[in-house]
Amino acid sequence: MKIWLDEKLVEEQDAKISVFDHGLLYGDGVFEGIRFYNGRVFRLEEHIKRLFDSAKAIIITMPWTQEQVVQFTVDTIAANGLRDGYVRLVVTRGTGGLGLNPYLCERPSMFIIASTISLYPEEYYTKGLPIITCATRRPAPSALMPQVKSLNYLNNIMAKVEAIQAGVMEALMLNEQGFVAECTGDNIFIIRDGKLLTPPVADGALDGVTRRVILELADQLGIPWAEQTLARYDIYIADECFLTGTAAEVIPVISLDRRPIADGLPGPLTGKFIRAFRELANSTGTPIV
């Protein structure tokens, strides 16, 4: 496997960072995960823009342009001979001292990994995913804006631990007010009386790229939608529910806290979104050349 590391393509065993890198020492950095299908990278420019926005928000000055990072990403995928898969870009603060002072890190470091991914077994896409509500809350926006995709994912990991210990693959996370934010790695949508609803980003949800695609598809499918503050009650009584994410794509949810959503089966509108998303993802994007 070829890894892009600070402007060089190197073999996996040679892709090494310093133990003094602040991304390792303090989770001081940002990342993006991007899917590619049929030799095209889906929504690549949107992901790279968000990577730069995250870096700017935590005061990392990128030494590359967005156009350069787009090309680095495509080059990494091409170097690995892949046409379908997942690419992860990680930007760290760089090498510095053992103290917290980020200004001692002279230059950011970036690596890009292109591989394959399978987040959930295929059966969950046809039969649906049971989820639980976890006790771990999303950090308040006043602590760290949810739009920053930082390397410190401990909050999400602890929530994922709760899900696994409860015997499910995913968990619903609430904000500090007790309203729905998102899941451990995915945005959440419900359908009620023919209308598509999702929590606003102000409630602690990441403004996911796939989330935006679903809202675009809702317009194309003639399905009304709104960003609306949601409680668990709203999910319990929903007609349908599904999650979205770059790695997860679109996956139906059939129960929350062992309470079936509607009849406990994936709903028809969810199926429409799954088919529309897959058609779009497999037919558009930046060519891998």
When the pLDDT of each residue in the chain is averaged and rounded to a whole number, the result is: 97
Please give the pLDDT value at position 119.
80
Return the CATH number at 73.
3.30.470.10
Please give the pLDDT value at position 142.
85
Max Cα–Cα distance, the chain, nearest Å: 57
The residue assigned the tokens 């091409």 is 78
Catalytic entry in 149, 160, 195, 272 = 149
Residue 288 within a domain: no
User: How many residues does the structure list for the chain?
Assistant: 289
> Where does a domain end: 115, 132, 159?
115
Would strands 129-133 and 249-256 be described as parallel, antiparallel, or unpaired? parallel
Residue 90 within a domain: yes
Please give the pLDDT value at position 145.
86
pLDDT tops 90 at residue 165: yes
d(CA 136, CA 199): 18
Do 37 and 103 share a structural domain?
yes
Q: How many domains are there within the chain?
A: 2
Do 182 and 77 share a structural domain?
no
d(CA 248, CA 242): 11
Please say if 149 is a catalytic residue: yes
Do 131 and 111 share a structural domain?
no
Please give the pLDDT value at position 104.
95
Do 205 and 155 share a structural domain?
yes
Do 17 and 64 share a structural domain?
yes
Across the range 248-260, mean pLDDT stands at 97
Handedness of CA 77, 81, 83, 85 (dihedral sign): negative
Contact 30, 51 (CB under 8 A): yes
Range of the domain at 83: 2-115
Residue 287 within a domain: no
pTM, full prediction:
0.95
> Where does a domain end: 64, 80, 115?
115
> Where does a domain end: 57, 87, 115?
115
Q: Confidence class of residue 194 from pLDDT cuts 50, 70 and 90?
A: very high
